[in-house]
């Protein structure tokens, strides 16, 4: 028997066993699984993200750091901000779309992820917004 036939045989053999296990698990679980809302962040988080992107597009350092905590404000120099802004502005001006990917809880921070896709066809960017106590603690574009 070739490798493909072996894999198919294993899947078919496991299918009935897996289904039986699922029924047993469902019988034990008394509470239904909670469904989450559509894959979107809270409105305040979306506004913060849009404000940060807008500040980059306008090369407005003051606006960019205005929602940040003390460490964020100290860590992002005007020179660093200007360098990033100069690289992204031409791409942003040609048009882009953002898709929210999800939220993580990491070491007391709420971390939100977006995918930025540019209409000029250049590489996508992963945007990561870190919040703590309603303040921006970090914003990375990779």
Provide the b/e sequence for 23-51 (b: ≥16 CB within 10 Å).
Answer: eeeeeeeeeeeeeeeeeebeeebbebbeb
Q: Does domain 43-141 have CATH number 3.90.550.10?
A: no
Report domain extents, the chain.
Answer: 43-141
d(CA 57, CA 69): 21
Quick one: which H or E segment has residue 130? strand 125-132
Q: Integer distance in angstroms from the first to the last C-alpha of the chain?
A: 46
The backbone torsions φ and ψ at residue 95, rounded to the nearest 5 degrees and listed phi first, read 115, 145
pLDDT per residue as tens digits for the range 36-86: 455 789 999 999 999 999 999 999 999 999 999 999 999 999 999 999 999
Band (110; pLDDT cuts 50, 70, 90): very high
**How crowded is residue 120: how many other Cβ atoms within 10 Å of its Cβ?**
12
| Per-residue model confidence (pLDDT) at position 38 | 58
Band (97; pLDDT cuts 50, 70, 90): very high
Average pLDDT over residues 10-33: 42
């Amino acid at each position: 028997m070739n490798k493909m036939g072996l894999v198919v045989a294993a899947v078919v053999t496991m299918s009935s066993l897996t289904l039986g296990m699922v029924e047993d698990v469902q019988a034990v679980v008394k509470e239904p699984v909670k469904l989450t809302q559509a894959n979107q962040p809270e409105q305040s988080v979306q506004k913060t993200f849009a404000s940060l992107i807008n500040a980059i597009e306008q090369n407005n350092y003051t606006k960019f750091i205005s929602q940040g905590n003390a460490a964020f404000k100290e860590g992002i120099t005007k020179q660093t901000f200007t360098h990033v802004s100069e690289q992204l502005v031409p791409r942003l001006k040609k048009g882009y779309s953002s898709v929210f990917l999800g939220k993580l809880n990491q070491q007391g921070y709420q971390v939100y992820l977006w995918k930025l896709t540019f209409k000029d066809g250049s590489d996508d960017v992963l945007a990561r917004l870190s919040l703590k106590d309603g303040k921006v603690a970090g914003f990375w574009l990779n």
